[in-house]
Structure 1
Amino acid sequence: MIEAVVFDIGNVLLEWQPERHFDTFMDAQDRKRLFAEVDLHAMNDAVDKGGNLPDLCAALAEAHPEWREQILRWNADWLQMASPAIPHSVRLLRALRAKGIPVFALSNFGIGTFAMAEGKYDFLQEFDRRYISGHMGVIKPDPEIYRMLEADCGVAPEALLFADDRADNIKAAEARGWKGHLFTTPEAWADRLVAEGLLTPEEAI
């Protein structure tokens, strides 16, 4: 029996598509070359482990002066990249909580970037418990982050249902006994919550 539902945030509750944002101000071929030559996602992983985004961005820009302006946009435009919210997923979060079902967040997110996101998206303050990688010092899919959640919340692994958009994160959770849902659309996630008996079809709309 499911006792708590765990939501990833990026691409589950709000969209996270940096390449799409960079395409709005760069030629497509130049953007592809930028992302091939500069590991912006590795920098973001360092942020998600607790690093400071402005400092890491500045250091990367200094290491790649030919892309300096574009790299610094990762910091300047961060909130624009982490958007928009996914309204149906937010409704599902609130529907679960309205029924008294504990809802947790487990997300790779920086300390500073999460604080920014909280200021824009009120639903990020509505979880019963939040497990944010920047504060934990470890990111998914490292097994340690799942163990830390289990130890803190006291819910047995088999009683946790976890939605994430990355297959490797789901696989790591399932290896610990969690039930996993690979998030593709909010409609499919709604169907899973109904199938698990957590929401009625009407509540999951």
Structure 2
Amino acid sequence: MTVGAVVFDIGNVLIRWQPELFYDAEIGPEARRAMFAEIDLHGMNDRIDRGEGFAAVVDQVAAAHPHWGDAIRLWHDRWLDMAQPAIPQSVALLRRLRARGVPVFALTNFGVEPFALARRRYDFLDEFDRAYISGHLRMAKPDPAIYAHVEADSGIAPHRLLFADDRADNIAVAAARGWQVHLFTTPQAWGAALADAGLLTAEDAAAG
């Protein structure tokens, strides 16, 4: 099946996104488990991903949980330490696709301010042919509306979009719309999928 564009998620595909690991290092695993059990920090981040103000949301949640206030504010103040490192093999795949003339898009749940911060550190975030950022669009995966927006804006039929994401719920909605999909686990498996689709040579897909 012909691919008109390859669509990358960013978190855990191109950049590691594991806030729990950051907090394990900062406050210890036991305290981290207690804090995450008490407070829906990923839900807090979902609000930011849908376009609410980064600092305002974090401050609101910190004020509501003063016992954890300082730790919660690290989500904003140390965000770049949380969203790291890049996954170099995935970045290499993105660049090899572009070198072969394959259109490459981003479809990512990312807040407006966090994405601006990330762009300053990760130059590859400016290398997409089109970038669909949830915070700017004020809708997020797995809402079908964001997938419909990609289809309408790009003019590419769903069956010609090949999408990699690390979350099964995001993949499921794309597949239901007719997209070609890959549940991202490792860059190696993603590279093999790109080679199977005829978009990269086996050598390029496997190279680190």
Output the TM-score relative to the length of structure 2: 0.98
Q: Please show how residues 57-96 of structure 1 align to structure 2 within 5 Å.
A: 57-96=58-97
Amino acid at match of 1:46: R
For 1:108-139, what per-residue CA distance to the aligned partner results, in whole angstroms no more than 9, with x for missing partners? Answer: 00000000000000000000000000000100
The number of aligned residues is 205
Task: Measure the CA separation in 2 of the matches of 1:28 and 1:123.
Answer: 32
For 1:179, the equivalent position in structure 2 comes to 180
Match status 1:158 vs 2:159 = yes
Match in the other structure for 2:7: 6
**Over aligned residue pairs, what C-alpha RMSD do you find?**
0.5
Partner AA of 2:82 in structure 1: M
Aligned AA (1:119): R
- Please report how far the alpha carbon of residue 27 of structure 1 lies from its aligned counterpart in structure 2 after TM superposition: 2.3
Shift of 1:25: 1.4
Q: Distance in 1 between matches of 2:71 and 2:153?
A: 40
| Structure 1: gaps spanning 5 or more residues | none
What does the per-residue CA deviation read over 1:25-44, in whole Å, with 9 as the maximum and x for residues that have no partner? 11211110000101111110
> Deviation per CA, 1:138-161, whole angstroms, max 9, x where unpaired?
000000000000000000000000
Give the aligned residue type for 1:82.
A
Q: Residue 24 of structure 1: SS of its match in structure 2?
A: helix
**Does residue 40 of structure 1 match 2:41?**
yes
- Distance across 2 between alignment mates of 1:203 and 1:185: 15
Q: Counterpart of 1:127? A: 128
Q: Deviations over 1:149-176 (max 9, x none)?
A: 0000000000000000000000000000
- Compute the displacement of 1:56 (Å): 0.6
Aligned equivalent of 2:145? 144
* 1:107 matched residue in structure 2: 108
C-alpha distance after superposition, 1:42-61 (max 9, x if no partner): 11000000011111111111
Distance 1:106 1:165 in 2: 12
- In the alignment, the residues of structure 2 paired with residue 163 and residue 190 of structure 1 have an alpha-carbon distance, to the nearest angstrom, of 11
Q: Could you tell me how far apart the structure 1 residues matched to 2:199 and 2:28 are?
A: 46
Q: Equivalents in 1 of 2:4, 2:70: separation in Å?
A: 47
CA–CA separation in structure 2 for the residues paired with 1:123 and 1:129: 12
Q: Which ranges of 4 or more aligned residues in structure 1 deviate by more than 4 Å?
A: none
Partner SS for 1:127: coil
Residue matched to 2:57: 56
Amino acid at match of 1:175: A
Secondary structure, aligned partner of 2:203? coil
- TM-score by length of structure 1 reads 0.99
5+ residue gaps in structure 2?
Answer: none
Alpha-carbon separation, structure 2, partners of 1:27 and 1:127:
37
Match of 1:29, SS? helix
